[in-house]
């Protein structure tokens, strides 16, 4: 696994591998997000989850890919919180379609070239990005 990840990291400019308690994390620059995912998919890994983490200075896109229960890898890239835009990986893994739709509406992120960028869980007239730290829940006033 380590050798495989190191091999992929060597093909992507600007990528680095972090070792964490929960396994290895392949961190790539935002511009390389789709090509990194394509490299990963070529080795046969499938997408398990794709979401975002709102850290104050950045908005991290986190994707979990796996080959088998034992072989898991976390992919990460950091976006600027003001204008978060990253390439969609739906063309790489079709399951990213709904995952990106949910992440987009919950965090206010734009996934470029997404085949179906509609709201998934929120109403069409919903304003704001609910899962961002800055979003505050008001008491409903029905």
Partner 1 sequence: MTIRTEGGVVLSGLDRLVAWGRSRSLWPLTYGIACCAIEMMTAGSPRYDLDRFGIIFRATPRQCDVMIVAGPVTKRMEPVIKLLYEQMAEPRWVLAMGSCAISGGAFAGSYNVLPGADTVVPVDIYVPGCPPRPEALMAGLLELRDGIRRGVPPKGGVARVRSGG
Residues within the interface to partner 1 (CB under 8 A): 121-123, 126, 128, 130, 135, 137-140, 142
Nearer residue to partner 1 within complex by CB, 22 or 123: 123
Eight-state DSSP code of residue 30: G
Collapsing DSSP states into helix, strand and coil, what is residue 3? Answer: helix
Nearer residue to partner 1 within complex by CB, 22 or 140: 140
Nearer residue to partner 1 within complex by CB, 112 or 121: 121
Nearer residue to partner 1 within complex by CB, 22 or 142: 142
Least distance in angstroms from the C-beta of 139 to partner 1: 5
Rounded distance between C-alpha atoms, residue 11 and residue 113, angstroms: 24
Eight-state DSSP code of residue 10: H
Least distance in angstroms from the C-beta of 134 to partner 1: 13
Helix (H) or strand (E) holding 95: none
DSSP string, 57-118: S-EEEEEEEEEETTEEEEEEEEE-SSS-EEE--TTT-TTHHHHHHHHHHHHT-EEET-S---
Least distance in angstroms from the C-beta of 106 to partner 1: 10
């Amino acid at each position: 696994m380590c050798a495989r990840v190191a091999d992929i990291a060597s093909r992507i400019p600007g990528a680095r591998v972090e070792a964490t308690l929960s396994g290895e994390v392949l961190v790539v620059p935002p511009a390389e997000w789709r090509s990194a995912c394509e490299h990963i998919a070529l080795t046969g890994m499938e997408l398990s989850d794709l979401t975002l983490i709102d850290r104050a200075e950045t908005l991290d896109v986190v994707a979990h890919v796996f080959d088998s229960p034992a072989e898991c890898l976390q992919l990460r890239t950091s976006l600027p919180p003001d204008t978060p835009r990253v390439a969609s990986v739906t063309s790489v893994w079709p399951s990213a379609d709904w995952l990106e739709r949910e992440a987009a509406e919950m965090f206010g992120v734009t996934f470029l070239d997404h085949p179906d960028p509609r709201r998934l869980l929120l109403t069409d007239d919903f304003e704001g990005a609910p899962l961002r730290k800055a979003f505050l829940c008001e008491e409903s006033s029905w």
